[in-house]
């Protein structure tokens, strides 16, 4: 029997506010342990939390970006559980009235748009970090992360493959980046998710029993966790067994999930209203202000790039996925000097390569859209070859200089003088009789060798198109 | 009626270890507490707006206030180790 998986995701994203959610401690990753802690975030008795205004704004931003409804009155609740990373023994979260409800996130599946429903987005606080190491006598707790603001984005069970889940996660990440509300540093755990998977026989309307996997800390981990869970549940069902509704812990190193809690231990968070915090009210004016300040969203940008008619979906996606690059691309195309496709090729090709080699960002480079377009225009005019352009790029990447000046200084201009080139071509043909006879004998790839020889003889300044043309002409005379 | 097994469940969630006699006493006492709280259900709250203490939007600006020094914070740690609160080994 064929089983269709159904997947729902709960994404927790750390917000990039300057301070924590309920106190003025700095929200900073990587600080020395327990140096960003005060009596409020370490849960000392008698302290009172005060909500950070920006947390409400950031959550509403995300909500409005996905077309969610803002609950203009919402409240916060205590979620109770005992664990050493949670010093109050409860997490302040939102239970029955989250800040945002509804909305959807567009993704592309095989080039077609599909919308993944979002149930709700609420605000909550992060827990501290437990450090386990055999060299310590106990488990160590670092409370720096305690009280870092999170939004939890809960999807509808609208995804049916690990690919769709991956697309959805990427779309969420791009939204967070475009809205500038999260650092999205995956390796630092700024986005984490819980994964729900169930299987139902093909054609069946009812959903199967779901298992929830916690502790999924990367998008690729989420894909592996989903695929593992689909296999595990398929095997159970095929053996005639049933799937138990349970929470499982994903161990990415082992590539396996493990049952965390048996049924009789089912989590019971005993939510109740947080009496220390006032009701959150979001006014019509505030909503209008946030909505008005939303940037162009990644999906809209993707559609705009696709509509240029020159770029592949892959290229559009690569540009959209890197905000700095997308903005640079837009500034280049606004100049209307060269084809968008050429700009895209350089951005995704050599420029990305240099950035990767250096591990730096486009915003750190001295490269300007004007200089890049001027350089591409020089190639299109035939002034420089593609190869010479790479040399120009190395210079204008770090220095704001006109490419024309760089070409001049380095003597990179192409020789487009047909007369001089023809002499050179004839010399090369005279010196390479073997290749000439190979070519005549049908080995057309001998032409490539001859072009290479001419390029070398011209010290790289010959125009390969002209050389190739002249070679063909001269060869036909022999 | 609060049953003894419900008390046991709550005790487990609260990491409390109770004797059988304590469970029995607590079941009775909690019954009384729940009954008292249940009186609230007689109130008609349909026309009451969502509020806890009448105040709304008690918010602060996103401005950094210096944290406590680590030494000060760790004074509250029963055991400290490598700049951290040290707790009995915990495995998920």
How distant is the alpha carbon of residue A344 from its chain centre? 18
Environment class of residue A239 by beta-carbon count within 10 Å: exposed (0-12), middle (13-18) or buried (19+)? exposed
Q: Please tell me which residue, A188 or A329, carries the higher pLDDT value.
A: A329
Interface of B with A in 40-69 (CB under 8 A): 49-53, 55-65, 67-69
Tell me what pLDDT residue A67 has: 98
Q: Of B14, B50, B82, which has the smallest distance from its Cβ to A136's Cβ?
A: B82
Taking CA–CA distances from A281, the nearest residue in chain B reads B57
Question: According to the CATH classification, is domain A418-477 in 1.10.3210.10?
Answer: no
Query: Helix, strand, coil: what percent of chain A each, to 5?
Result: 40, 20, 35
Q: Is some CB atom of chain B closer than 8 A to the CB atom of A75?
A: yes
A471 close to A455: Cβ distance less than 8 angstroms:
no
Residue A310 exposure: Cα atoms within 13 Å on the Cβ side:
10
What pLDDT score does B2 carry?
87
Q: How many CB atoms lie within 10 A of CB A399?
A: 11
A395 pLDDT above the threshold of 60: yes
- Closest-CA distance, A1 to chain B, in angstroms, reads 36
Candidate from B64, B86, B88 with C-beta closest to A19: B64
Q: Where are the domains of chain B?
A: 4-41
For the record, the structure tokens of A196 come out as: 């729900």
Mean pLDDT of chain A: 93
Count A/B contacts: CB-CB distance under 8 Å. Answer: 137
pLDDT 10s digits, A420-459: 888 888 999 999 888 888 888 888 888 889 988 888 888 7
pLDDT grade for A416, boundaries at 50, 70 and 90: confident
Q: Where in chain A is the domain with CATH 1.10.10.410?
A: 418-477
Contact between A377 and A348 under an 8 Å Cβ cutoff? The reply is no
Closest approach of chain A CAs to the CA of B19, in angstroms? 20
Q: What's residue A264's pLDDT? A: 47
A31 near B CB under 8 A: no
Closest CB to B67 among A18, A38, A277:
A38
Whether chain B has a CB inside 8 Å of the CB on A50: the answer is yes
CA distance A164 to chain B (A): 30
Q: What is the pLDDT of residue A412?
A: 82
CATH architecture under which domain B4-41 falls: Orthogonal Bundle (1.10)
Predicted TM-score of the model (pTM): 0.87
Give the largest CA-CA distance in chain B: 55
User: Are A391 and A413 spatial neighbours (Cβ–Cβ below 8 Å)?
Assistant: no
CA of A303 vs chain B CAs: smallest distance (Å): 35
**CA-based nearest distance B48→chain A, Å:** 13
Start-to-end C-alpha separation, chain B:
34
Show the CA angle centred on residue A286, arms to residues A283 and A292, nearest 5°.
140
pLDDT in tens, chain B (92 residues): 888 888 998 898 888 899 999 999 999 999 999 999 999 999 988 887 776 667 899 999 999 999 999 999 999 898 999 999 999 887 64
Two structure tokens written together for B7: 């008390």
For residue A152, which of A111, A209, A194 has the smallest C-alpha distance? A194
Q: Is A424 helix (H, G, I), strand (E, B) or coil?
A: helix
Dist CA A381 CA A375 (whole Å)? 10
User: How is B26-90 classified by DSSP, letter by letter?
Assistant: HHHHHHHHHHHHHGGGGS--TT--S-SSS-B--EE-S---PPPPHHHHHTT-SSEETTEEEES--
Cα distance between residue A435 and residue B92, in whole Å: 71
Q: In the predicted model, is pLDDT for residue A235 greater than 60? A: yes
Quick check: B81 and A141 CB within 8 A?
A: no
pLDDT, residue A386, reads 87
| Predicted ipTM of the assembly | 0.88
Q: Using CB atoms, which residue from B14, B67, B84 is nearest to A36?
A: B67
Q: What residues contact residue A66 under an 8 Å CB cut-off, 6+ apart?
A: A103, A104, A105, A118, A175
Q: What is the pLDDT of residue A214?
A: 86
**pLDDT digit string, tens, across residues A34-66:** 999 999 999 999 999 999 999 999 999 999 999
Higher pLDDT, A187 or A384: A384
- Give the three-class secondary structure for A128: coil
Q: How confident is the model over A251-301, as pLDDT tens digits? A: 989 999 988 765 445 578 999 999 999 999 999 999 999 999 999 999 999
């Amino acid at each position: 029997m064929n089983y269709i998986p159904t997947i729902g995701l709960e994404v927790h994203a750390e917000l990039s506010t300057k301070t924590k959610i309920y106190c003025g401690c700095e929200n900073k990753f990587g600080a020395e342990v327990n140096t960003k802690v005060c009596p409020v975030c370490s849960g000392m008795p008698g302290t009172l939390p005060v909500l950070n205004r920006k947390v409400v704004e950031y959550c509403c931003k995300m909500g409005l970006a996905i077309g969610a409804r803002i609950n203009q009155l919402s409240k916060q609740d205590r979620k109770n559980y005992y664990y050493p990373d949670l010093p109050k023994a409860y997490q302040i979260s939102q239970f029955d009235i989250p800040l945002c409800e509804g909305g959807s996130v567009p993704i592309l599946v095989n080039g077609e748009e599909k919308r993944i429903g979002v149930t709700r987005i609420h605000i909550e606080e992060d827990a501290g970090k437990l450090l386990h190491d055999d060299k310590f006598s106990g488990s160590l707790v670092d409370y720096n992360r305690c009280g870092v603001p999170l939004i939890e984005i809960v999807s509808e069970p609208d995804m049916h493959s690990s690919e769709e889940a991956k697309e959805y996660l990427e779309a969420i990440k791009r939204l967070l980046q475009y809205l500038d509300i999260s650092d999205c540093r995956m390796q630092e755990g700024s986005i984490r998710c819980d994964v729900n998977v169930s299987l139902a026989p093909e054609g069946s309307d009812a959903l199967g029993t779901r298992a929830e996997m916690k502790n999924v800390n990367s998008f690729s981990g989420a894909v592996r966790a989903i695929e593992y869970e689909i296999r595990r549940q398929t095997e159970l069902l095929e053996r005639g067994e049933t799937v138990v509704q349970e929470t499982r812990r994903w161990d990415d190193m082992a590539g396996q999930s493990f049952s965390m809690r048996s049924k009789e231990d089912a989590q019971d968070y005993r939510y109740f209203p947080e009496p220390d915090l006032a009701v959150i009210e979001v006014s019509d004016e505030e909503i209008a202000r946030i909505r008005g300040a939303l940037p162009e969203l990644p999906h809209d940008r993707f559609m705009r790039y696709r509509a240029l008619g020159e770029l592949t979906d892959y290229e559009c996606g690569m540009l959209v996925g890197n905000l700095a690059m997308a903005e640079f691309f837009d500034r280049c195309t606004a100049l209307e000097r060269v084809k968008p496709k050429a700009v895209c090729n350089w951005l995704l090709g050599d420029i990305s390569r240099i950035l990767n080699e250096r591990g730096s960002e486009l915003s750190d480079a001295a490269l300007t859209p004007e200089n890049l377009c001027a350089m591409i225009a020089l190639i299109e005019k035939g002034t420089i070859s593609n190869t010479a352009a790479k040399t120009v790029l190395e210079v204008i990447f770090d220095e704001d200089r006109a490419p024309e000046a760089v070409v001049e200084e380095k003597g990179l201009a192409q020789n487009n003088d047909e007369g001089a080139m023809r002499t050179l071509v004839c010399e090369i043909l005279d010196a390479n009789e073997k290749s000439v006879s190979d070519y005549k004998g049908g080995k057309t790839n001998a032409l490539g060798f001859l072009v290479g020889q001419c390029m070398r003889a011209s010290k790289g300044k010959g125009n390969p198109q002209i050389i190739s043309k002249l070679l063909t002409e001269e060869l036909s005379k022999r | 009626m609060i049953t003894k097994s419900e008390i046991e469940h709550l005790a487990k969630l609260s990491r409390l270890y109770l004797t059988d006699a304590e469970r029995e006493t607590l079941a009775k006492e909690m019954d009384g507490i729940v009954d008292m709280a249940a009186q609230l259900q007689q109130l008609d709250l349909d026309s009451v707006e969502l509020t806890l203490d009448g105040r709304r939007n008690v918010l602060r600006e996103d401005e950094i206030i210096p944290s406590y020094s680590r030494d000060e914070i760790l004074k509250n740690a029963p055991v400290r180790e490598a700049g951290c609160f040290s707790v009995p080994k915990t495995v998920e």
